[in-house]
Structure 1
């Protein structure tokens, strides 16, 4: 029987274990899976905390239903019927600019009426279809792409806030190819974004006439989806379906070669031998574990930076908030000089996030452009968050409920050169048969991406086992 050790019991590690067991049963293959988690709880950065009637998400608050992988996982777990789509009003998203919350335009007429972008900025944006495409295949930063195709104002007010909202990243360093590969593909294939949208819209209409099911022509889209009691239900449900052993408080200090397989040395003493090791740990943790195994591998994974983040949950009596809270929330361009990156109106997005008559707001502070925020005291974080809520929404009342969650290494940053680094990692792993990597440090930070990557690594492991005979 082949022993497979999976390091990390977040969504990636748990999904990998579940996918491997399903495939092994289908192939009538005996495997012994052991999932090793450093902390004393499962779920990684997924953690739905119920406190005083408020439901606070420590990390991500859901996934988009535009990709199939998490939905398929929910089917396999038997929890599809428990999924909760976000409120329709949560489609409304805002940008705070020049002292005003502007709703993000969703179509041409809304774009023309919006005061978020000036008329010179709108003209520059609409001129995108006349900009020559870049087809050399070379990577570029999101900022360079934005300035080149859409103009400086669109970069500052649209692209940069989006990058901070998704990645907590800096557009001046983030990779277009790795963060938004579809956008690079649209430019290469169609010559520009507007040209691509026109062609895809025509294709969509044609397919609709032919009775085909089609996705949105405008991009990934999708509806934010979770559960009544929070997104932790996804990892909890996955963990209950894993038949192998799951050990908590089982941190790995080193991964070493032994007899054609591996020896895992635990923090505090003890070892575990395994023929196959799958790391679903963060890149910085993997770099520590692989010291002594392969210096090149350690250096490659250690080059993946992480952005810190404070997550601040404020609960209020609804009557203390003048704002309608009709929408998803807002992002703040860096030039506005605020401390927070933006705020989600959590109790407007999903039910059961606040007690009756109360609301829950969740603000983000830090990221790659403000890493020092992680060092601020709780009192300073609270004061700066309240100042921003006053500036953006006119909230002057003190919150009735406050919880601050700190993530010193919150989100991996796909900086320019990330794709080349992944290629070098793939090549290096060829010389370390039996070692596999998954997790959000490599091929996508979203929950869908983690589930997909886990399924792919499970398939590669099964192929390797089949090749052994």
Structure 2
């Protein structure tokens, strides 16, 4: 991710959250901090003593750990009973597989790193002070805008792909609807990073099997609601040294609130709200609450405000200032049980059908986090480079 930041010319615009800022989970009507370091484990009150023992035994592989509903809700807006641990949280799954338990796997990973020479760090990259989150001075929109500026006229906006046809020479003819009318062009390779349901429709004339597989991924609706309150509206018990501090809060659905979670935007990054106010980014909806699609924007704001007044905001506070409401009817791909099997089926159908140079990418392939999407972009770029190198080599023979 930092490499992408530097390559895009945004190093000086990068802003990082405080790695020591707490994260909170709503449990039994109270916001409880999640342990951020080993010394927090004995004293944190998110779990009972018995729960801590079960979690510890689970980490050692001696018995199942407690449910991870808060993680599923926060990352995927998903239903924990249906998500695949292997697909959704692959790093944790790999630790358990490699070491017999999470702790055993962690020790093996540490040993492997210690015995393997570490590649030199790119000296251009910023050095965060710890594990944290990042954005840019004017928000995440700066990243795609910077990439577009660097690529110049190679980037086409408002071009909608309507069809892909494979020609006899193996190349692909792509037809687009553009502001200037229909435009067709040919390419030896195509990388599709659109949502899987969009890719399914485009690929059906080429491979019904690939299209059928891609149509099976589920995207629940999610709404992002940005609202602002006066600082004085925050409950006293939620303040740390007189300020709202932290990354934000997660709300398991079992706790009786509709909002999935809240990010403390103005606490994380500078200049996100004027003096005396706070900016909160809230998410509502998800796999267990598809009914948000029937709500108006004002009803979504009311739902979020109602939940926040149970947790963070004084009940007597004035109505919040609404800064933005965005609803995605199909938002985050769910990494359900069998996810990798479906993805492999789609890729195999394209490969077996002779569609060389046609690559699937995007968050349903790599993972939903922005960092994984960036990693996946570098990975698929390497695949395309290798493919084109082999193609050009054959052409030269």
TM-score range, shorter chain: 0.7 to 0.9
User: Structure 1, residues 338-367: CA drift from partner, whole Å, max 9, x if none?
Assistant: 110111111001011111221101111001
Structure 1 203/299 Cα, relative in aligned 2: closer, same or farther at 3 Å? Answer: closer
Q: Conserved in 2, the CA contact under 8 Å of 1:316 and 1:401?
A: no
2: CA distance between counterparts of 1:304 and 1:400? 36
Partner of 1:266: 176
1: CA distance between counterparts of 2:255 and 2:222? 19
Q: Which aligned pairs between 1:342-353 and structure 2 lie closer than 5 A?
A: 342-353=261-272
Structure 1 379/75 Cα, relative in aligned 2: closer, same or farther at 3 Å? Answer: closer
Say if 2:377 is the partner of 1:454: yes
Say if 2:227 is the partner of 1:314: yes
Q: Conserved in 2, the CA contact under 8 Å of 1:422 and 1:442?
A: yes
User: Structure 1, residues 181-223: CA drift from partner, whole Å, max 9, x if none?
Assistant: 111111122211233446667888x79xx99999xxxxxx822
User: Structure 1, residues 378-432: CA drift from partner, whole Å, max 9, x if none?
Assistant: 2321221111101111432211334211111111111111111222223223221
Partner of 1:418: 339
Q: Which aligned pairs between 1:347-366 and structure 2 lie closer than 5 A?
A: 347-366=266-285
Q: After alignment, is 78-87 or 385-394 more displaced?
A: 78-87
Offset, 1:295: 0.5
Offset, 1:127: 2.0
Matching residue within 287, 295, 317 for 2:200: 287
2: CA distance between counterparts of 1:445 and 1:391? 30
Q: Report the TM-score when normalising by structure 1.
A: 0.73
Q: RMSD over aligned Cα, in angstroms?
A: 2.5
**Larger RCO, structures 1/2 (Cα 8 Å, 6+ apart):** 1
Offset, 1:179: 1.4
How many aligned positions are there?
A: 369
3-state SS, counterpart of residue 113 of structure 1: coil
2: CA distance between counterparts of 1:460 and 1:356? 48
Q: After alignment, is 455-464 or 334-343 more displaced?
A: 455-464
Say if 2:321 is the partner of 1:400: yes
Partner of 1:380: 299
Q: Conserved in 1, the CA contact under 8 Å of 2:266 and 2:278?
A: yes
Q: Report the TM-score when normalising by structure 2.
A: 0.85
User: Structure 1, residues 283-338: CA drift from partner, whole Å, max 9, x if none?
Assistant: 11111212212101111111111121011111122223234221111101111111
Q: Which aligned pairs between 1:15-94 and structure 2 lie closer than 5 A?
A: 70-89=1-20, 91-94=21-24
Say if 2:348 is the partner of 1:427: yes
**Structure 1, unaligned stretches of length 5 or more?**
1-69, 133-147, 215-220
Q: After alignment, is 250-259 or 403-412 more displaced?
A: 250-259
Offset, 1:109: 4.5
Q: Which aligned pairs between 1:134-145 and structure 2 lie closer than 5 A?
A: none
1: CA distance between counterparts of 2:35 and 2:266? 23
User: Structure 1, residues 120-172: CA drift from partner, whole Å, max 9, x if none?
Assistant: 2122222225545xxxxxxxxxxxxxxx6213xxx1xxx11111111111111
3-state SS, counterpart of residue 194 of structure 1: helix
**Structure 2, unaligned stretches of length 5 or more?**
122-129, 393-397
3-state SS, counterpart of residue 226 of structure 1: strand
Offset, 1:243: 4.4
Structure 1 360/295 Cα, relative in aligned 2: closer, same or farther at 3 Å? Answer: same
Offset, 1:103: 0.7
Offset, 1:102: 0.6
